[in-house]
A = this chain, B = another copy of it.
Amino acid sequence: MEGTIRCSANYVPLTPISFLERSAVVYRERLSLVYGDHVKFTWQQTRDRSVKLASSLVTRFQISHGDVVAVLAPNIPEMYELHFAVPMAGSVLCNLNIRHPSKMVSTLLKHSNAKLIFVDYEFVHIAKGAIEIISRSTSSVPQLILISDSSKLSVPPTPDILDYESLLEMGSLDFEIRRPKDECDPIAVNYTSGTTSSPKGVVCNHRGAYLNSLAVVLLNEMPSMPVHLWVVPMFHCNGWCMIWGMAAQGGTNVCLRKVTAKGIFESISRHKVTHMGGAPTILNMIVNAPASERIPLPGKVVVKTGGAPPPSQVVFSMEKLGFDVYHSYGLTETYGPGIVCTWKPEWDSLPLETRAKIKSRQGLNHIGMEEVDVKDPVTMKSVPWDAKTMGEVMFRGNTVMNGYLKDTKATQDAFKDGWFRSGDLGVRHSDGYIELKDRSKDIIISGGENISTIEVESVLFRHQAVLEAAVVGRPDDHWGETPCAFVKLKEGYKLDGDDIIAYCRDNLPHYMAPRTVVFEELPKTSTGKIQKFVLREKAKALGNDLAKGKSKL
* Residue positions of A touching B, CB distance < 8 A: 1-12, 14, 18-19, 21-22, 25-30, 66, 92, 184, 186, 189, 201, 203, 208, 214, 217-218, 221, 223-225, 248-250, 342, 344-345, 363-365, 367, 370-371, 395-398, 400-408, 410-412, 414-415, 418-420, 431-432
Contact = CB atoms under 8 A, between A and B. Distances in A.
6 contacts: A3-B406, A3-B408, A9-B414, A9-B419, A9-B420, A10-B415
A22 B92 contact: no
A420 B9 CA distance: 6
Given A10-B401, A397-B12, A415-B7, A203 B1 contact: yes
B342 A26 contact: yes
Given A26-B342, A26-B432, A214-B218, 15 more contacts: A1-B66, A2-B405, A3-B407, A4-B405, A5-B415, A7-B418, A9-B395, A9-B418, A10-B397, A10-B401, A10-B420, A12-B397, A21-B371, A29-B431, A218-B218
Given A3-B408, A218-B224, A248 B367 contact: yes
B5 A402 contact: yes
A389 to B, nearest CB: 18
B367 A8 contact: no
A396 B342 contact: no
A21 B396 CA distance: 13
A402 B4 contact: yes
Given A398-B14, A420-B9, A364 B25 contact: yes
B3 A405 contact: yes
B8 A203 contact: no
Given A30-B344, A396-B12, A22 B367 contact: yes
Contacts of A398: 10-12, 14
A367 to B, nearest CB: 6
Contacts of A365: 22, 26
A6 B402 contact: yes
Given A25-B432, A395-B9, A1 B186 contact: yes
A261 B515 CA distance: 70
A171 to B, nearest CB: 23
A-B complex: 4 closest residue pairs judged by Cβ atoms: A4-B403, A4-B402, A10-B400, A8-B418
A5 B403 contact: yes
A345 B365 CA distance: 33
Given A223-B221, A367-B19, A406-B3, A431 B28 contact: yes
Contacts of A405: 1-4
Nearest to A7: B415
B9 A203 contact: no
A77 B203 CA distance: 43
A11 B403 CA distance: 12
Nearest to A401: B10
A411 B3 contact: yes
Given A224-B221, A367-B19, A406 B2 contact: yes
B26 A364 contact: yes
A415 B250 CA distance: 30
Nearest to A369: B22
A426 to B, nearest CB: 15
A342 B10 contact: no
Contact of A404 (B3, B22, B203, B420): B3
Nearest to A219: B224
